[in-house]
C-alpha cells in the first residue's frame, strides 16, 4: 500500500514531468511567409509561440523562420496597423499567413478613457489613427503627425520656429475666455497643457517616433468619462510597446534642409528709392542710402536638421520590453535659433500569478537645449530701410547700423526700427529643459472572480526649465537702460536668469467587471473609479541685472509655489444585447480647488446608444454592406482651464520684472492684489451627436457621417467692473452661452488591392458653425459686444465677440472704392447715415474660423516602391493683414528723422495712413481660403542587406510643398486670424533611411 502511494504521489508525477520536459526540449523549425490582404510581404511582423519564449520577426519580404518546442500548438502573428492572428500549428512545419489591416477590421481594439473597446462596439465619436497612417517627413512635435487626418480636428502650427507648438481645435472652440485646447493623455497620464519655462511647446518634449496610436474622443458621450477637462475633446496617445521574442533593433535617420516658403512682400531697394524720390521732400530724400540690402535674406538661412532614433524590442523571458533613444538637432530658418533634444523611452509588461497580475511600466524622458532666436528681428527686417548697410563705420552699437538722433540720451532715434541682424546676433537666449512622463499600472484579475479586475495607475509628469537671457551692453535694443542710483553711470544690456519646476502627480484606481451573459445574449462591462491629480508649479525669482552684472532690481521673495488639485469619482456601464444593440452610460463627479466650496464640485453625465444594423436579418447576408451602425449620444462636460488658481478669493500675488514698484532709488517686485469673483463655477458644454458608420465590399470602403450640436452655458467670460468695486477693472465670471454645430464626413477606400499594387485613398470634410447666443446677464440692445485683439495704439481692437455672430468676428469700417475698384483713401461708408464716421458705423465682417475644412491623403505601393501625398484645405476663413495696415501707408515710410520700408501694396493704394480709422478698413480683411499640399513622400524598400535579418528602406520627401490661395500676405493659415510678423513656415526637403535588424 505504501509503495502504491509512493508510485501515485511521487514517481508518476515525476515521470510525466520528465516526459513533458523531454517533449518541450525537442524542437522543430517552422518557416513561412506573412503577407497583407493584397499578397505583399510584410516586414517586422512579430511571430511568437504560445507557451514558450520563442519569438522572431519577419524579414523584408515577409518570410520567417522560428524554432519552437515540438509540443507547440499555436503561433501568434501581430503587427502595428494589422489585426493579430493566432494560427493552429498542428504538425505543419510551413505555414503562410495573411493579415488584415485594422482600418477595415471591426475587431480592432481602440483605446478609450480607462480601458479599451472593439471598434464595432463604440457608441461615441472616436477616431483612431495608427503609425502607418501618420504624416511623413521631418516631424518634431507629435500633434503634426495627424494634421489633416481626422474629420473635425484642426491642427495649425504656430510658426516655423524649432519645436514650435500648434493650435489644436476639435469641433471648434467651446469657450471664449477659458482654454479651447483638448485634454491630452499619454499612456494613461493626463498632461498639463501649460508649457514649462524654456520650452516653446510642451508636446515638443515627446519624441514622435515613440508614438504608436492617437485616439481622438470627439463627442461628450465618449469624453465625459474625463469630466471637467473634456469640453474640447480628448486626445489619447499610446506609445509603442515591446513584443516577446528575440531582440529586434530599428534605426531611423533623417537629414532635412528647410528654407522659408515665402517672404513678406515689401519694396526692394530700387523700388523704395523710386517711391521716396517721387513722393518725399528734399530732407526725406537725403535719408536714402546707397546699399541694396534684402533684410529678410539677411535674417533667414537654410535650416539643417538631423534626427536619429534607435529602438530595441524583445523579451526578457516572457516579459516584453521596448527601449528607445532619440537625438534631434534642428537649426531654425531664423538665424541663431536651434533646438537639440535627447529623448529616452522604456516600457515593459511583466505578468505574474498565472497571468492574473499585469504590470505596465512606462517611462519617457527628454532633455532639450534651445537657443531662441529674437523674433522681433522679423518685424524689423520688414520695415528697415533697404538702402542702408548692415554694418556702420562706427563701433558703437556693436558696429551695426542704427538710426541715430544726436539729441537723444542714448543716441538712438526713438520708435525707429532696430537693425534686425544686430537683434539676432547680440541676444543670447538659451534654455535647458528636462521632462519625464511615466506611470506604473497594476491590473489584477481576481482568482476567485475572473470577471472582476482592479486597476491602479500611479503616474507623474515632472519638468524643470531654466535659462538665461544675455544681451550685449552695446546692443541698441538694451542700450544704457539703467542708471546707477549711486554713481549716476548708465549701464546697458541684460543678464537675467529664470527657472521653473512643474509637478503633476496622478493616482487613479478603478474596478472593472466584464461578463458575457449568454442566457440572454448580453454582455455587461462596468467600471467605477477614483482619481486624484495634484499640480504644483515652483517659480524661482532672480535679480534683474545688466550685461555687466549691475543689479537693476532684487526680488523680495526667492520663489512662489502655486498649486491646484482635482479629485474625481467616475463610472461607466457598457451593455450589449445580441451583439447589435449597445448602450453606454457614464458619469463623473469632479472637485477642483479652483472654485470655492459652494461651487467646487460638478457632475458630468453622458448616455449613448448604437445599433449595429448590419447584424439584423435584413442586412446580415448583404454582399454590399459589410458594416452599418447608427450611433446617438448626449453628454455634458466641464471646463476649468484658462482661469486663475485662486481667483475666487481676494489674494495677493508677486509682480514680475515688467511690473516693479519704485521705493527710493530702487525697484522691487511686490505683492499686489488681484481681481476676484467668489461665485465662479464650472463652464459646461452639452453635446448631442448622431453618427452613421458604414462599410462596403468587405470593408474595402469604410467611413462615417456625423452631426453634432454643442451648447456651452455659464461661459467663463470677461466682464468689466465699476471703479472701486474690485481690484481689477475686469473679472472672469459665468456670463453667456454659445453654440457649435457641424457635420463631419470621412471615407477611406482601398481603390486597388492586389499582389503587386495597392492604392489607398482617404478624404475627410468638416462643416462647423459657431454662434454666440448670450453675453450679458440681462438683454441690452445697446451692447455691441466685447472687443479684443489689439493691433497697436490705444483702443485699436480688431475683433469682437457679439450675440448672433461667430466668435472672433472682425469689427471694421466699410471701405469705399472708386469705379476701377481701387480703395479711396480715408473714405468709408456711413452705414447709419448720420453724417459722421465713427464706431457706430463699424460692423462685423467675416471671421478667422473656416466654414469648411478638408483633409485628403493617398498612399500608393507598387512592389518595393511607395509614394504618398497629404493635402489640406480651408474654405471661408479670412485674415486681417495687419502688416499691410501697419506699413502699407505713406505715413509709415516718411517718419520723423528716418525712413521705413513699406508693404508693396502701397504702390496700388497709396494710403496716407494718417487717420486712426484707416486701421479698421475692411480692405485689410482678406479671403484666406487655401489648398495646401502638406506632404509629398516616396520610399523604396531595398530588402535584405548586410545579412538575412536586416532590412533597409530609403525615403525622401517634401513638406509644405505648395499653397494655392487668393490671400496676398505671408501665410493664409495663422490660428489668430491676424497676420503680423509671423515666423514663416519652412519648406522642408528630407532624405532618410530605416534599418531594421
Q: Classify residue 738 as left (phi > 0), alpha (psi -120 to 50) or beta.
A: beta
What was the pLDDT predicted at 53? 63
pLDDT of 353 over the 60 cut: yes
What was the pLDDT predicted at 460? 96
CA angle 8, 14, 20 (to 5 degrees): 125
Half-sphere exposure of 8 (CA within 13 A, CB side): 5
This prediction has a pTM of 0.87
CA angle 291, 297, 302 (to 5 degrees): 150
pLDDT of 784 over the 60 cut: yes
- Beta strands per DSSP E along 101-219: 109-112, 115-118, 126-130, 153-157, 166-170, 183-186, 189-190, 211-217
Residue 112 is placed in which grid cell?
A: 478609450
What was the pLDDT predicted at 102? 57
At 14, the pLDDT band (50, 70, 90 cuts) reads very low
Least-confidence region, from 5-19, 236-250, 338-352, 914-928: 5-19
Of 217, 123, 221, 220, nearest to 577 by C-alpha is 123
- Between CA 405 and CA 742 the distance in angstroms is 58
- DSSP-derived letter for residue 266 is B
Model pLDDT for residues 112-121, shown as the tens digit of each residue: 888 888 888 8
At 783, the pLDDT band (50, 70, 90 cuts) reads confident
Residue 15: strand, helix, or coil: helix
At 820, the pLDDT band (50, 70, 90 cuts) reads very high
At 946, the pLDDT band (50, 70, 90 cuts) reads confident
pLDDT of 11 over the 50 cut: no
At 81, the pLDDT band (50, 70, 90 cuts) reads low
Parse the chain into domains and list their residue ranges.
Answer: 25-100
What was the pLDDT predicted at 23? 39
Give, in order, the Cα–Cα distances in Å from 753 to each of 98, 362, 758, 860, 863: 13, 37, 4, 10, 12
How many CB atoms lie under 10 A from the CB of residue 559? Answer: 14
Q: Are 626 and 697 in contact (CB under 8 A)?
A: yes
CA angle 143, 147, 149 (to 5 degrees): 120
- Burial pattern 442-471, b for ≥16 Cβ within 10 A else e, equals ebbbeeeeeeebebebbbebbbbbbbbbbb
Higher-confidence position of 708 and 63:
708
Give, in order, the Cα–Cα distances in Å from 285 to each of 208, 403, 895, 897, 898: 54, 15, 12, 11, 10
- Between CA 715 and CA 176 the distance in angstroms is 7
Q: Are 191 and 125 in contact (CB under 8 A)?
A: no
- Between CA 910 and CA 900 the distance in angstroms is 15
Residue 303 parent element (H or E): strand 303-316
At 503, the pLDDT band (50, 70, 90 cuts) reads very high
Percent of the chain at pLDDT above 70?
93
Q: Are 190 and 533 in contact (CB under 8 A)?
A: yes
Of 345, 269, 333, 335, nearest to 305 by C-alpha is 333
Compute the average pLDDT of residues 848-868: 93
How many CB atoms lie under 10 A from the CB of residue 680? Answer: 22
Q: Are 472 and 395 in contact (CB under 8 A)?
A: no
Q: Are 568 and 588 in contact (CB under 8 A)?
A: yes
Of 454, 396, 443, nearest to 422 by C-alpha is 396
Model pLDDT for residues 749-759, shown as the tens digit of each residue: 998 888 788 99
Higher-confidence position of 252 and 650:
252
pLDDT of 819 over the 90 cut: yes
Phi/psi for 840 (5° steps) reads -70, -15
pLDDT of 872 over the 90 cut: yes
Higher-confidence position of 488 and 511:
511
- Between CA 804 and CA 394 the distance in angstroms is 60
What was the pLDDT predicted at 20? 41
What was the pLDDT predicted at 18? 39
At 821, the pLDDT band (50, 70, 90 cuts) reads very high
What was the pLDDT predicted at 724? 64
Residue 515 parent element (H or E): strand 494-517
Higher-confidence position of 418 and 562:
418
Phi/psi for 903 (5° steps) reads -65, 135
- Between CA 920 and CA 925 the distance in angstroms is 9
Model pLDDT for residues 173-190, shown as the tens digit of each residue: 889 888 899 999 999 999
Half-sphere exposure of 931 (CA within 13 A, CB side): 2
Q: Are 425 and 473 in contact (CB under 8 A)?
A: no
pLDDT of 16 over the 60 cut: no
Residue 700 parent element (H or E): none
User: Could you name the CATH architecture of 25-100?
Assistant: Sandwich (2.60)
How far does CA 850 lie from the centroid of its chain?
19
Residue 372: strand, helix, or coil: coil
Give rounded-to-5 percent helix, strand, coil for the chain: 15, 50, 35
Amino acid at each position: 500500500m505504501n509503495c502504491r502511494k509512493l508510485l501515485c504521489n511521487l514517481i508518476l508525477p515525476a515521470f510525466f514531468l520528465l516526459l513533458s520536459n523531454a517533449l518541450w526540449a525537442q524542437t522543430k523549425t517552422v518557416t513561412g511567409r506573412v503577407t497583407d490582404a493584397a499578397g505583399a510581404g510584410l516586414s517586422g511582423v512579430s511571430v511568437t509561440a504560445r507557451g514558450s519564449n520563442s519569438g522572431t520577426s519577419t524579414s523584408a519580404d515577409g518570410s520567417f523562420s522560428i524554432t519552437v518546442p515540438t509540443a507547440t500548438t499555436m503561433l501568434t502573428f501581430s503587427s502595428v496597423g494589422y489585426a493579430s492572428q493566432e494560427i493552429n500549428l498542428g504538425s505543419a512545419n510551413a505555414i503562410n499567413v495573411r493579415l488584415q489591416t485594422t482600418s477595415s477590421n471591426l475587431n480592432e481594439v481602440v483605446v478609450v478613457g480607462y480601458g479599451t473597446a472593439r471598434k464595432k462596439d463604440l457608441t461615441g465619436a472616436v477616431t483612431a489613427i495608427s503609425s502607418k497612417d501618420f504624416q511623413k517627413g521631418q516631424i518634431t512635435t507629435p500633434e503634426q503627425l495627424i494634421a489633416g487626418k481626422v474629420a473635425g480636428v484642426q491642427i495649425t502650427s504656430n510658426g516655423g520656429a524649432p519645436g514650435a507648438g500648434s493650435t489644436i481645435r476639435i469641433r471648434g472652440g467651446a469657450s471664449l475666455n477659458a482654454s479651447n485646447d483638448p485634454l491630452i493623455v499619454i499612456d494613461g497620464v493626463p498632461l498639463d497643457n501649460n508649457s514649462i519655462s524654456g520650452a516653446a511647446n510642451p508636446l515638443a518634449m515627446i519624441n514622435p517616433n515613440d508614438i504608436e496610436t492617437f485616439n481622438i474622443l470627439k463627442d461628450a458621450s465618449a469624453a465625459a468619462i474625463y469630466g471637467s477637462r473634456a469640453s474640447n475633446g480628448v486626445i489619447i496617445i499610446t506609445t509603442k510597446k515591446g513584443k516577446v521574442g528575440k531582440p529586434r533593433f530599428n534605426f531611423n535617420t533623417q537629414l532635412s534642409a528647410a528654407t522659408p516658403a515665402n517672404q513678406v512682400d515689401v519694396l526692394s531697394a530700387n523700388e523704395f528709392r523710386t517711391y521716396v524720390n517721387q513722393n518725399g521732400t528734399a530732407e526725406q530724400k537725403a535719408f536714402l542710402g546707397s546699399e541694396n540690402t534684402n533684410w529678410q535674406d539677411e535674417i533667414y538661412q537654410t535650416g539643417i536638421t538631423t534626427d536619429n532614433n534607435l529602438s530595441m524590442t524583445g523579451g526578457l523571458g516572457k516579459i516584453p520590453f521596448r527601449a528607445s533613444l532619440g537625438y534631434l538637432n534642428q537649426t531654425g530658418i531664423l538665424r541663431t535659433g536651434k533646438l537639440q533634444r535627447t529623448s529616452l523611452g522604456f516600457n515593459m509588461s511583466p505578468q505574474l500569478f498565472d497571468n492574473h497580475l499585469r504590470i505596465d511600466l512606462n517611462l519617457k524622458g527628454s532633455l532639450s537645449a534651445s537657443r531662441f532666436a529674437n523674433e522681433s528681428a522679423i518685424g524689423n527686417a520688414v520695415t528697415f530701410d533697404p538702402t542702408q548697410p548692415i554694418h556702420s563705420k562706427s563701433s558703437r552699437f556693436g558696429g551695426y547700423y542704427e538710426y541715430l538722433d544726436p539729441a537723444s540720451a542714448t543716441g538712438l532715434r526713438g520708435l525707429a526700427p532696430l537693425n534686425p541682424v544686430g537683434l539676432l546676433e547680440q541676444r543670447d537666449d538659451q534654455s535647458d529643459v528636462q521632462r519625464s512622463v511615466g506611470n506604473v499600472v497594476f491590473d489584477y484579475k481576481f482568482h476567485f472572480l475572473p470577471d472582476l479586475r482592479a486597476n491602479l495607475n500611479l503616474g507623474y509628469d515632472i519638468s524643470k526649465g531654466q535659462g538665461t537671457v544675455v544681451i550685449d551692453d552695446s546692443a541698441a535694443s538694451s542700450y544704457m537702460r539703467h542708471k546707477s542710483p549711486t554713481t549716476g553711470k548708465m549701464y546697458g544690456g541684460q543678464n537675467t536668469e529664470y527657472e521653473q519646476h512643474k509637478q503633476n502627480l496622478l493616482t487613479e484606481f478603478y474596478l472593472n467587471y466584464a461578463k458575457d451573459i449568454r442566457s440572454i445574449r448580453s454582455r455587461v462591462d462596468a467600471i467605477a473609479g477614483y482619481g486624484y491629480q495634484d499640480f504644483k508649479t515652483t517659480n524661482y525669482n532672480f535679480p534683474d541685472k545688466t550685461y555687466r552684472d549691475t543689479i537693476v532690481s532684487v526680488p523680495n521673495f526667492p520663489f512662489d509655489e502655486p498649486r491646484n488639485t482635482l479629485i474625481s469619482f467616475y463610472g461607466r456601464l457598457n451593455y450589449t444585447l445580441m451583439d447589435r444593440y449597445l448602450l453606454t452610460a457614464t458619469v463623473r463627479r469632479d472637485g477642483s480647488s479652483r472654485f470655492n466650496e459652494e461651487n467646487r464640485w460638478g457632475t458630468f453625465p453622458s448616455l449613448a446608444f448604437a445599433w449595429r444594423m448590419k447584424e439584423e436579418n435584413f442586412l446580415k447576408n448583404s454582399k454590399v454592406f459589410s458594416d452599418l451602425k447608427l450611433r446617438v449620444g448626449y453628454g455634458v462636460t466641464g471646463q476649468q482651464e484658462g482661469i486663475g488658481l485662486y481667483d475666487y478669493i481676494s489674494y495677493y500675488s508677486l509682480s514680475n520684472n515688467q511690473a516693479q514698484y519704485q521705493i527710493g532709488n530702487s525697484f522691487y517686485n511686490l505683492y499686489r492684489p488681484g481681481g476676484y469673483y467668489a461665485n465662479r463655477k464650472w463652464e459646461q458644454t452639452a453635446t448631442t451627436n448622431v453618427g452613421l458608420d458604414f462599410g462596403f465590399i468587405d470593408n474595402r470602403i469604410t467611413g462615417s457621417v456625423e452631426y453634432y450640436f454643442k451648447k456651452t452655458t455659464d461661459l467663463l467670460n470677461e466682464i468689466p467692473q465699476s471703479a472701486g468695486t474690485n481690484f481689477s477693472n475686469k473679472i472672469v465670471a459665468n456670463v453667456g452661452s454659445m453654440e457649435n454645430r457641424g457635420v463631419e464626413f470621412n471615407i477611406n477606400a482601398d481603390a486597388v488591392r492586389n499582389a503587386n499594387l495597392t492604392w489607398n485613398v482617404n478624404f475627410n470634410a468638416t462643416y462647423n458653425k459657431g454662434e454666440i447666443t448670450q453675453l450679458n446677464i440681462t438683454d441690452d440692445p445697446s451692447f455691441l459686444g466685447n472687443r479684443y485683439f489689439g493691433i497697436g495704439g490705444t483702443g485699436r481692437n480688431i475683433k469682437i465677440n457679439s450675440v448672433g455672430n461667430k466668435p472672433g468676428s472682425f469689427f471694421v469700417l466699410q471701405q469705399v472704392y472708386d469705379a476701377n475698384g481701387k480703395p479711396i483713401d480715408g473714405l468709408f461708408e456711413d452705414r447709419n447715415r448720420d453724417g459722421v464716421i465713427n464706431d457706430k458705423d463699424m460692423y462685423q465682417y467675416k471671421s478667422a474660423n473656416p466654414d469648411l475644412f478638408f483633409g485628403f491623403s493617398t498612399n500608393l505601393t507598387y512592389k518595393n516602391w511607395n509614394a504618398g501625398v497629404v493635402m489640406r484645405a480651408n474654405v471661408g476663413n479670412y485674415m486681417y493683414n495687419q502688416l499691410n495696415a501697419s506699413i502699407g501707408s505713406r505715413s509709415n515710410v516718411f517718419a520723423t528723422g528716418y525712413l521705413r520700408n513699406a508693404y508693396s501694396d502701397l504702390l496700388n493704394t497709396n494710403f496716407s495712413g494718417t487717420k486712426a480709422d484707416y486701421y479698421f478698413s475692411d480692405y485689410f480683411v482678406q479671403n484666406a481660403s487655401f489648398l495646401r499640399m502638406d506632404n509629398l513622400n516616396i520610399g523604396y524598400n531595398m530588402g535584405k542587406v548586410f545579412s538575412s535579418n536586416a532590412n533597409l528602406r530609403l525615403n525622401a520627401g517634401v513638406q509644405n510643398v505648395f499653397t494655392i490661395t487668393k490671400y496676398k500676405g505671408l501665410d493664409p493659415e495663422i490660428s489668430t486670424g491676424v497676420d503680423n510678423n509671423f515666423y514663416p513656415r519652412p519648406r522642408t526637403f528630407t532624405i532618410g533611411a530605416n534599418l531594421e535588424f
